[in-house]
Chain A
Amino acid sequence: MPSSPVAATSAASSVGELQRIASQVRRDIVRQVHACQSGHPGGSLGCADFFTALYFSILRHDPASWNMDGRDQDLFFLSNGHISPVWYSVLARSGYFPVSELATFRKINGRLQGHPTTHEGLPGVRMASGSLGQGLSVGIGAALAKKLNGDDKLVYTLHGDGELQEGQIWEAAMYAAGKKVDNLISTIDCNGRQIDGDVDDVLPLGDLHAKWLAFGWDVLETDGNDMEKLLTCMAEAKRRTGKGKPVMVLMCTEMGQGVDFMMHSHAWHGIAPNDAQLASALGQLEETLGDY
């Protein structure tokens, strides 16, 4: 076990190495949420593998030279901003800001706001999100700017499945396909759960694959908690860019993945563990990079 918290190399490539980073990211998530006794651990844990893959293998980015415009770098927009703990963890662990700053999550005078924002100047974050349904439009705008600038890098977005109940998502879905925004890879965290219960009970989404296809997207599906399959699918998604269609990746995940008592329910969407629950959670997650 390392004696002090460290950032991982952002060029991690092996599946094993990424899985080790993801374990630390999961520890960071539950510790952030426990420390302030608020936040959203369930979706964050479910997306830990995706964020780790994104920031340590997929994105072409340079944390050291971060700037708002992000020219000649891949860009990522988190539309379902409530899973900020997982994003903050990978941003810190990949070098955007000190890992120790994770201790300030949701605390007064901090940059790690409950939902991500540009307002406090946190490196790595280019848009405020939290009010749902807005991130796909923003991603389209950033992708259009890249085309105008002759910038061949890509734009990635992530959305919750419950978030797809927002109408603006479908306005954006129509636009991206209709206007051939093909430098965009969007992903959906299909965990089937939202605050009030299962998505199928709250408001069923129907056949998502068929819906995105019908809107004119190129659609892929993968297991969002299987690092190997995730990497393979995202590589395929990247290959499909530049061919006249936006690319959608539907990722099947388990809310609360990695912490047994947080899985198989929507209960841990937005509540924090107590001391005993934290200890139980951390006992299931190896400390691979050192806690902050």
Chain B
Amino acid sequence: MTYPVLDQKDTRSGFGAGLLEVGRSNPDVVALCADLTGSLKMDAFEKEFPERFFQVGIAEANMMGIAAGLTIGGKIPFTGTFANFSTGRVYDQVRQSIAYAGKNVKICASHAGLTLGEDGATHQILEDIGLMRMLPGMTVIVPADHNQTRQATLAIAAHQGPCYLRFGRPKWPVFIPADSPFEIGKAQVLVEGSDVTMIACGHLVWHTLQAAEQLAKEGVTAEVINMHTIKPLDAEAILRSVSRTGCVVTCEEHNRHGGLGDAVAQVLTASRPAPQEFVAVNDSFGESGTPDQLLKKYGLMPADIVAAAHRAIARA
């Protein structure tokens, strides 16, 4: 199966569209932003629901605490800032006031990973998936494109409990139909195959599809799984696929430590050990550059995934 490019849109706009929709359908939805309303595409919500929008200024710790407090009284707060400032900067606030306290806060994080681009490593967090999936009770979602980010935004509004929604800055191919089903914790098999399982999240799902097409030309049938939910992880989907293919490649715009690859490896080592190759940033910080330049330099292109697939198959 091939996936035509429906459009080129940023995933953050998918969040903005979804937020406006849940704002319209649920009067308890409120939104908070730390001086990045335009960057997070929260302006439409702010305009339509000014009384339910809280501009907190450049004070992310305070934003997380206010969000936690707003849940007491039945509100469903969505916080918006960059992924770096949604996690590392406020880890203790998220840990104590949201995760440990079990508060129904939706932490929505844009500009994640290398594709933030020219701003450089200070803003390109590559550790956030790991930080957030370590928190007990935290749901972690990394949608693949604009349409799926919108769907995920609707889904977390309906989900009871703290959620981390990770998305990005650049325009990116839209390939998931807007009406395609989305369920938290349920992986999507985008391409069926029997030689290697390729599991990806976020922007790298598209690169993985490209890699699968290349592999097909070489006579290798790769199974492509969109693991949009990192936690709770769909272990059944992983085991079902790897039990047929015998090897796996994980692909993520994240440090190779702590992210999707580690999560998949944990499932496999416990139930069905198999060779695994990691397409991820190799334990380093990023740097300034265009998204394409960075993805190429740090080994996250379709060609890198193809090479990893061959290595995995050779080890199987």
Contacts and interface: CB of A to CB of B under 8 A. Distances in A.
Interface string B29-72: 01000000000000000000001101011010111111111111
Interface string A132-152: 011111111111111011010
A142 B93 contact: no
Interface of A: 68-71, 75, 77, 117-119, 126-131, 133-146, 148-149, 151, 167-168, 171-172, 174-175, 178-179
Contact of B69 (A131, A143, A179): A143
Contacts of A168: 61-62, 65, 93
A77 B72 CA distance: 11
- Range class of the B interface residue count: 20 to 34
Q: Is the interface of B mostly helix, strand, loop or mixed?
A: helix
B100 A119 contact: yes
A137 B72 contact: no
B222 to A, nearest CB: 43
B70 A141 contact: yes
Contacts of A133: 61
A100 B13 CA distance: 55
Contacts of B61: 133-134, 137, 167-168, 171
Contacts of B57: 174-175, 178
B68 A69 contact: no
Nearest to B74: A69
Given A137-B62, A145-B75, A117 B69 contact: no
Given A142-B70, A145-B72, A149-B74, A172 B62 contact: yes
Nearest to A126: B72
Given A75-B72, A144-B54, A128 B66 contact: no
B69 A139 contact: yes
Contact of A137 (B51, B97, B101): B97
Contacts of B66: 137-138, 140-141, 144, 172, 175
A137 B79 CA distance: 14
B88 to A, nearest CB: 15
A138 B73 contact: no
A170 B73 CA distance: 24
Nearest to A70: B72
Contact of B96 (A70, A71, A130, A178): A130
List 7 A-B pairs, minimum CB-CB distance, nearest first. Answer: A141-B69, A137-B65, A145-B73, A171-B62, A171-B59, A141-B66, A138-B69
B161 interface: no
Contacts of B72: 68-70, 75, 126-127, 138, 141-142, 145
Contacts of A144: 54, 66, 69-70
Given A137-B64, A138-B65, A143-B69, A148 B75 contact: yes
B159 to A, nearest CB: 18
Given A138-B66, A146-B73, 9 more contacts: A118-B102, A128-B96, A131-B95, A135-B65, A142-B70, A145-B72, A148-B73, A172-B66, A175-B57
B51 A148 contact: yes
Given A118-B102, A174-B57, A134 B93 contact: yes
B47 to A, nearest CB: 18
A151 B95 CA distance: 29
A141 B74 contact: no
B92 interface: yes
A145 B62 contact: no
A119 B99 CA distance: 10
